[in-house]
Structure 1
Amino acid sequence: MMTYVPLPERRSLRENLGNMMGATGRFVADLMREPLGRAGFIVVMLLILIAIFAPLIAPYSPTRQALGSALQAPSATHWLGTDEYGRDILSRLIWGTRITMQTILSISAIVGPVGLIIGVTAGFFGGRIDAVLMRFTDIVLSFPSLVLALAFAAAMGAGLQTAIIAISLTAWPPVARLARAEALVVRNADYVNAARLYGAGKLRLIFLYVVPMCIPSVIVRLTLNMATITLTAASLGFLGLGAQPPSPEWGAMISAGRRFMLDQWWVALMPGFAILLTSLAFNVLGDALRDVLDPRYTRK
């Protein structure tokens, strides 16, 4: 009878997969241990699911007009009421979740790597490279992010893609400064010096030894930044520089509903509440991630 003996490569792959699954399970368990972190995680996951399955969840088309049903109060037919064109507000909020999550994830995918690379490069090499990169970062930080995003968006033209690029150009400096601070500590660690003595090149040291130690702090910072990104994107939409009508962008919905604040309050209140809930969820989730990923931080 033949006995199957796993190859070393297969055994190593299985062990790595098992370790990854175990680490993921421990991470989720630690995150769920705090009530606020659990609530933020659940809300964010719900938002992602709503964004993915918006066509199946929304009861009406987000752009279909029915002037005979304009400005109806919340009822059994329209749970959150209708706007000035008779469009169902709940359906527009559901579809607007897709726009908001697309904006947040796209900006984070740009800001994270850019800020991480700039910060790690400045912190690892130091000297003139650090001085040049950090002075440029300070120049960008000296401008209010919303004002700078407005300037970029106005120069490039209104639109969702323009808003993503404009916010990305202004959101990377805090990530870069955080990555630099982490790199300044890690570059003098014993294991980095040992790898340097064994002949590891600078790129190898950066990407295999320094960057992985900076990623947890960057993830926490990005999660906390997502609340600011949500508000900035809504502000651009409110001013007409984000997603253009008839797209159900939350900031644009508030802008259209501000004329009816006194009598038809639901037109502007519902998207405002959606922005508040999304920002609060990301803030709470980021705070919980800081507790889990940063062992040096202790809640007082």
Structure 2
Amino acid sequence: MSETTYTPPLTRRDWLLSDRPASRTQARLGRAYVIWRRFSENRLALVGLLILMALLFVAAFADVLAPYSPIQGDLRNGLLPPSAANWFGTDEQGRDILSRLIYGSRLTLLVVGLVAIIAAPVGLLVGTVSGYAGGWVDAILMRITDIFLAFPKLVLALALVAALGPGIENAILAIAVTSWPPYARIARAETMTFRNSDYIAAVKLMGASPFRIVLRHIMPLCMSSLIVRVTLDMAGIILTAAGLGFLGLGAQPPLPEWGAMIASGRRFILDQWWVAAAPGAAILIVSLGFNLLGDGLRDALDPKEAGQ
């Protein structure tokens, strides 16, 4: 009798890490698992992820978590120090600072999300078209990009908001207009690396149009670098939005925007320090969280680390 060898069943981990995936779904899930495993090894990146998840939780359940109204206050309770009733104290109009911070997280996420949705696709499109087309198309698109890069981001945002008028919507638009050029530069560099590869040459031989090549084959290859750059830029977007709010060009009173809260508290910075310190600490923690998350994603998505 011939002996039969026993083959143990594949575990879920072995299935994900298989070097011969049976389907695209298995390959994608395996790639995602490898990225998550590398990401989870970075403890600081996990801290950044926890900060972001906490921000999302606070913004989603602000109505439940906030103990008081973020807009209505009592002048008789103005500038009270931190206490059991008001954990972070009150501002000059008697409004609870903690409640305003909680509701202000929604504005922060709104600014960050809309800027990323507007700026990242524009930069990706400009960069991939420029890098793949080359010639005069590349020259024109990159000179336009250079013009935007020649101005400091905050100065250009200030000029745009001053022209459009103060308000959270105009501030978001101004920040988005000033944020896309770096993404275009990254996408162009990535595209110029891929456009002469055998993979793209094979797609051309199959009769794919330039539009399809850019949209279906080059853009996905640029997504990893773009995601990392967008995540790292979130802190700068938050600081730019806070700067506009501090100067009175962003969210207008009585909206609980963190930059505007610091501006209203700068008059009391020596005696009632908590009025400006609380929103400043919130900006610091959230910006740090995005930076830590971006560093972790950069290490996890780095193709040079794939074989290690």
TM-score, scaled to structure 1: 0.92
Q: Which runs of 4+ in 1 moved over 4 A?
A: 14-23
**Structure 2: how far apart are the matches of 1:115 and 1:179?**
7
Q: 1:1-300 alignment to 2 at 5 Å?
A: 20-296=28-304
Deviation at 1:29, TM superposition (A): 3.1
Contact conserved, 2:81 with 2:274, CA < 8 A, in 1?
yes
Contact conserved, 2:246 with 2:260, CA < 8 A, in 1?
yes
Amino acid at match of 2:151: F
- What do residues 45-64 of structure 1 show as CA deviations (whole Å, max 9, x unaligned)? 11111111111111111011
**Structure 1: how far apart are the matches of 2:159 and 2:232?**
24
Structure 2 counterpart of 1:6: none
Count of residue correspondences: 285
- What do residues 150-172 of structure 1 show as CA deviations (whole Å, max 9, x unaligned)? 00001001110000000011010
Secondary structure, aligned partner of 2:303: coil
- What do residues 65-121 of structure 1 show as CA deviations (whole Å, max 9, x unaligned)? 111111011111111110001110000000000000110000000011000000000
Deviation at 1:198, TM superposition (A): 1.8
**Structure 2: how far apart are the matches of 1:201 and 1:247?**
49
The gaps in structure 2 that reach 5 residues or longer are 1-21
**Structure 1: how far apart are the matches of 2:27 and 2:206?**
28
Deviation at 1:296, TM superposition (A): 3.0
Deviation at 1:129, TM superposition (A): 0.4
Contact conserved, 1:290 with 1:297, CA < 8 A, in 2?
no
RMSD between aligned residues: 1.6
**Structure 2: how far apart are the matches of 1:234 and 1:81?**
21
Structure 2 counterpart of 1:4: none
Structure 1 counterpart of 2:5: none
**Structure 1: how far apart are the matches of 2:49 and 2:270?**
35
The gaps in structure 1 that reach 5 residues or longer are 1-13
Deviation at 1:18, TM superposition (A): 5.5
Deviation at 1:30, TM superposition (A): 2.5
Contact conserved, 2:36 with 2:300, CA < 8 A, in 1?
no
Amino acid at match of 1:228: G
Secondary structure, aligned partner of 2:304: coil
Secondary structure, aligned partner of 2:87: coil
Deviation at 1:215, TM superposition (A): 0.6
**Structure 2: how far apart are the matches of 1:160 and 1:92?**
16
**Structure 2: how far apart are the matches of 1:155 and 1:278?**
30
